[in-house]
């Protein structure tokens, strides 16, 4: 959606396509680009942390993290304890001061007012301990004006995130990961 071409393989199958973190350059607005990392889903499939997200390998290639974006497809069901735990663990690593945390909700093709989803579900999400700085409620089915409008909504959300971001340096994040290696926080989630 943000890259402007079919970069990441997607469809409705039950198996995941993304097995490693893959970077894509996205044009957010004239003159403003961002590197977006597509990562394996945090879907409780029983994969190990190394299979889902090789954090040290990602961090060796990046200089900073400005925004964490969680994508939730309404067709995948409710936000459950596994999603909440993934949120908690990843924001404990990356969601420090100056790093925006955003939610993109997909699967809202049949809703005329997509933003109404947020109004109806925001309190429940906060009650589960998931606090987002920004959100976007969209359709991700290609074609038509609704898709183009959704791409604009996500770009506008990213611009708001980037405007207030003070990126966390990768070195600081690496330090936190190394300090956590004794407790194996990620393997508790994925292993």
Q: What confidence tens digit (pLDDT) does each residue in 166-178 have?
A: 665 544 544 544 4
Q: Is the pLDDT of residue 161 over 50?
A: yes
Does the residue 83 lie in any domain? yes
The per-residue pLDDT for range 74-97, each reduced to its tens digit, is 877 778 777 787 787 777 766 666
The answer to whether residue 9 is domain-embedded is no
Q: Is residue 4 part of a domain?
A: no
Whole-number pLDDT of residue 189: 35
d(CA 179, CA 184): 10
Residue at 147 is within a domain: yes
Mean pLDDT, residues 32-41 taken together: 74
Taking CA atoms, 23 is separated from 34, 61, 143, 158, 173, in Å, by: 10, 10, 24, 16, 18
Structural domain includes residue 74: yes
Whether residue 154 lies inside any domain: the answer is yes
3-state secondary structure of 143: coil
Max avg pLDDT among 51-60, 64-73, 129-138, 141-150: 129-138
CATH number at residue 33: 3.40.50
The structural domain count of the chain equals 1
Q: Which domain holds residue 142?
A: 22-190
How many angstroms separate the CA atoms of 184 and 191, rounded? Answer: 10
Give the pTM: 0.73
65 belongs to a structural domain: yes
Residues 3 and 24 sit within 8 Å (Cβ to Cβ): yes
Q: CA-to-CA distance for 23 and 81, rounded, in angstroms? A: 28
């Amino acid at each position: 959606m943000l890259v402007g071409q079919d970069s990441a393989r997607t469809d409705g199958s039950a198996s995941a396509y993304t097995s490693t973190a893959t970077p894509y350059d996205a044009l957010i607005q004239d003159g403003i680009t961002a590197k977006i990392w597509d990562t394996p889903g945090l879907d409780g499939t029983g994969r190990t942390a190394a299979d889902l997200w090789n954090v040290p390998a990602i961090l060796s290639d990046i200089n900073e993290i400005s925004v964490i974006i969680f994508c939730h497809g309404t067709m995948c069901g409710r936000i459950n304890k596994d999603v909440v735990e993934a949120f908690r663990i990843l924001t404990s690593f990356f969601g420090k001061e100056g790093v925006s945390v955003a939610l993109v909700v997909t699967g809202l093709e049949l809703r005329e007012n997509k933003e109404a989803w947020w109004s109806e579900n925001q309190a429940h999400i906060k009650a589960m301990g998931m606090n987002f700085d920004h959100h976007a409620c969209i359709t991700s089915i290609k074609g038509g004006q609704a898709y183009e409008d959704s791409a604009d909504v996500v770009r506008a959300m990213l611009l708001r995130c980037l405007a207030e971001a003070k990126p966390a340096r990768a070195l600081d994040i690496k330090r936190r990961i190394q300090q956590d290696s004794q407790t194996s926080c990620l393997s508790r989630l994925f292993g």
